[in-house]
Amino acid sequence: MRVMTTLSLAMWRGFVREKMALFFIILFPLMFLFLFGGLLSDPTQSRSTLVQVGEVQLLDRLPPESEEAFTDAFEVEHTTDLAAAVQQVRKGDADAALQQDGDELLLHFSQADQVTAATVRGTIFSFVQGANVAATDEPPAYSLTMQQVEDESLEPIQYLTPGLLGWAIAMSATFGAALTLVEWRRSKLLRRLRLAPVPTGSLVSARILVTLGIALLQLVVFVGLAMAVFGLQLTGSWWMAIPLVASGTLAFMAIGLLAGSVSKTSEGASGLANIVILPMAFLSGSFIPLDAAPEWLRSVSTIFPLRYLNEGMLDVMVRGQVASAALLPIAVLLGFALVVGAVATRVFRWEAD
């Protein structure tokens, strides 16, 4: 026990005194959080620009309740020059131009940005329909109420935090294990420990303990800052993120152990870890949500442990799933750790030659 505590303390000190590692493991992923969080939460991004050409009764005589909804969706500019307005739309300076000719409304839009075009068309159409119904003076035949399934405050930060946290944990566990192994073998510290009455189990346990500590530190810093700065709101079973992070850490330690076992130099080990982790982070939805990804990509992503960590954390931290939703991802991660860990043990070498 004293041996394991001593080794853990020595490793922990070695970690917190390495400024570069602290930067890469804590600050670097946080920079992404601030970058993406800042970019995507810009509220003016969701409003479209509409150019009103001359008089348009639909817009000028909106009932008060519709007017509020309209200004939420559109920023309106006024002009009398139709040609100039169409030119603006063509160049992308405005999203659409609207003119009225008698009872007919004419909407000019550009297909260059298909999503915006569809939104503008749909929104204007619904206002026209609303005005038509109002003009008949009869109650509408159907009414529609909309209810979002997630927490109402589902902002980009809700998706970003678990994904980026998953990436940060994958990085630190993999690189930590791989580089420590290669460096200790190179400096002969591994040999020195083999010549001391140190059980291999204590050495491995100490490394696991320290890596888990680092991962939990990442969890606290990440979630804490996302809540304080960007208003991240956690859902009921968020605490299941702790066993998720722990089992994810074990899975990525196993990858790092394998990379460190087959590499001779630190450069080789970090290169190998990068080749594995970076594509995995992209394909597992750490940077971009997988919901928008094509079907084949989503199928491919099921082979990556990071996907299970990300999805598991999304489920319990922001999607409001019950605690048991995390059990399957945890089982997959632990199974992965076991299999890769067993392979790493087979190729593990104490000595460089």
Partner 1 sequence: MGEHVIEVNDLCKRYGNLRAVDGVSFEVQQGEFFGILGPNGAGKTTTLEIIEGLRESDGGSVQLLGQPPWPRNQSLLPRIGVQLQATAFFERLTAREQIHTFAALYDVPAAAGDALLERVGLTEHAGTRTEKLSGGQKQRLSIACTLVHEPEVVFLDEPTAALDPQARRNLWDLLSTLNDSGRTVVLTTHYMDEAESLCDRVAIMDHGRLLALDTPAVLVRDLGAATQIGVAADGLDTADFAAIGGVEQMRHNGDTMVLSTREPARVLSALAERDALADVHVRGADLEDVFLHLTGREYRA
Q: Which residues bind partner 1 (CB under 8 A)?
A: 2-3, 5-7, 9-11, 13-14, 17-18, 183, 187-198, 351
**Tokens 């490394």 label which residue?**
207
For partner 1, the closer CB: 100 or 266: 266
Whole-angstrom distance, CA of residue 316 vs CA of residue 161: 12
For partner 1, the closer CB: 50 or 190: 190
Whole-angstrom distance, CA of residue 98 vs CA of residue 4: 73
Rounded least distance, CB 120 to partner 1, Å: 59
The 3-state DSSP class for residue 155 equals: coil
Going by C-alpha positions, the residue among 207, 197, 213 that lies closest to residue 348 is 207
For partner 1, the closer CB: 188 or 298: 188
For partner 1, the closer CB: 193 or 216: 193
Rounded least distance, CB 195 to partner 1, Å: 5
**Tokens 């791989």 label which residue?**
178
Whole-angstrom distance, CA of residue 252 vs CA of residue 108: 53
For partner 1, the closer CB: 193 or 209: 193
Rounded least distance, CB 265 to partner 1, Å: 15
Going by C-alpha positions, the residue among 241, 221, 224 that lies closest to residue 232 is 224
Q: At what angle do helices 156-186 and 241-262 cross, to 10 degrees?
A: 40
Rounded least distance, CB 193 to partner 1, Å: 7
What distances in angstroms separate CA 27 from CA 38, 108, 230, 331, one per listed residue?
16, 47, 16, 30
Rounded least distance, CB 7 to partner 1, Å: 8
For partner 1, the closer CB: 193 or 327: 193
Residues 6+ apart with CB under 8 A from 349: 185, 261
Rounded least distance, CB 205 to partner 1, Å: 14
